[in-house]
Structures are given as structure tokens and as C-alpha cells.
């Protein structure tokens, strides 16, 4: 059982991570339908947020806050200037160890991530673009002015 399984959630699909390390080949994408209590150690979030990975029992989690992460990832420069946040953890927060980050990064290098950007920022932007372009519910963030191209693919049936 994965940490995510004790909370209400919607499984949106999987993304591939072509890592040489087995534990991160396929990573689940979830939409939280519950607010996560403060004593949860594998991730945090509120209803509507996105989790990449479900915590212990599967891939380590990255929390992507909805709506600000989608705005952060898809707004053009003019609208981006209107976003208000004090810390990047308001937008996304990784829950992985340095070793897990290495293993994830090794795979995402093959999909376009480069170490000159934080892995969690690259993954947040690419997952948001992927969801905006493939899941109707998130298409509201597509204002047609931002390139939604990503090397990630959403696999819905597994």
C-alpha cells in the first residue's frame, strides 16, 4: 500500500521516467481530493493539488499546488508578474531524498531536464503543461500564449 492510498484522490495517469533505476520507471500522477493532515510525512497538500508520486510504497512525491503552479507554468511574462508568492514551496515541494533525486534526475535527463535548473521546478512546469494539454479539467490554464510542449507523456491505462 502506498501513502496516497489512505486519502481520497483521483489517479490521472502515469508519466515515464526512463531512469536506469527500477523504482522510478513509471510515476503516478494524482489529484488530491482530501486536505492532507500536517502529520503526514510523505507529502502535503490540499484538495485540488497534484502529486507526482504517491509517497512510501511507490515513487517519492512532488506536491504541485493548484492553481498557482499552473499559473506559474503557463502564464506569459505579463501575467506572471501578477503572481504573488513568498516561497517556491507555495508552488511546489519535493519529498525526496538526495539519492532519490539523483535517480529521478538520471531518468529525466533523457527527457530534457538539465542540472542548471532545479529538478522539481522543471518537473512541475512539465507536468502542468502536460495536464493542461491533455486533461480537460486543467485546460482552463491554457490561454494560448504559452508553448505547452513537453517531452513527458501521460499514460492513462495501465
In a domain, 158, yes or no: no
Residues 53 and 95: their CA atoms lie apart, in Å, by 10
Please give the order of strands across the beta sheet that includes 50-52.
9-16, 26-32, 50-52, 62-64, 92-94
In a domain, 155, yes or no: no
pTM over 0.95: no
In a domain, 152, yes or no: no
pLDDT at residue 87 in the model: 86
Residues 30 and 60: their CA atoms lie apart, in Å, by 13
For the chain, list residues with pLDDT below 70.
75-81, 144-145, 158
In a domain, 101, yes or no: yes
Domain that holds residue 22: 3-141
In a domain, 38, yes or no: yes
Residues 123 and 25: their CA atoms lie apart, in Å, by 15
Quick one: cell of 146? 504559452
pLDDT at residue 99 in the model: 93
pLDDT at residue 77 in the model: 61
Sequence-distant (6+) residues with CB within 8 A of 33 are 7, 8, 9, 10, 47
pLDDT tens digits, one per residue of 56-71:
888 999 999 999 899 8
Q: How many domains does one find in the chain?
A: 1
In a domain, 82, yes or no: yes
Residues 43 and 34: their CA atoms lie apart, in Å, by 12
CA angle 3-115-120, nearest 5°?
30
In a domain, 60, yes or no: yes
In a domain, 9, yes or no: yes
The separation between the first and the last C-alpha atoms of the chain, rounded to the nearest angstrom, is 17
Amino acid at each position: 500500500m502506498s501513502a496516497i492510498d489512505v486519502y481520497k484522490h483521483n489517479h490521472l495517469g502515469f508519466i515515464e521516467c526512463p531512469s536506469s533505476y527500477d523504482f522510478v520507471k513509471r510515476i503516478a500522477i494524482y489529484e488530491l481530493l482530501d486536505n492532507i493532515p500536517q502529520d503526514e510525512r510523505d507529502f502535503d497538500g490540499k484538495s485540488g493539488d497534484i502529486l507526482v508520486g504517491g509517497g512510501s510504497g511507490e515513487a517519492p512525491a512532488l506536491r504541485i499546488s493548484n492553481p498557482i503552479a499552473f499559473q506559474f507554468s503557463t502564464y506569459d511574462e505579463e501575467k506572471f508578474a501578477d503572481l504573488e508568492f513568498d516561497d517556491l514551496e507555495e508552488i511546489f515541494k519535493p519529498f525526496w531524498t538526495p539519492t532519490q533525486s539523483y535517480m529521478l534526475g538520471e531518468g529525466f535527463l533523457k527527457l530534457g531536464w538539465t542540472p542548471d535548473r532545479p529538478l522539481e521546478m522543471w518537473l512541475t512546469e512539465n507536468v502542468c503543461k502536460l495536464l493542461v494539454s491533455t486533461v480537460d479539467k486543467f485546460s482552463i490554464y491554457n490561454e494560448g500564449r504559452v508553448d505547452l510542449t513537453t517531452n513527458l507523456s501521460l499514460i492513462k491505462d495501465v
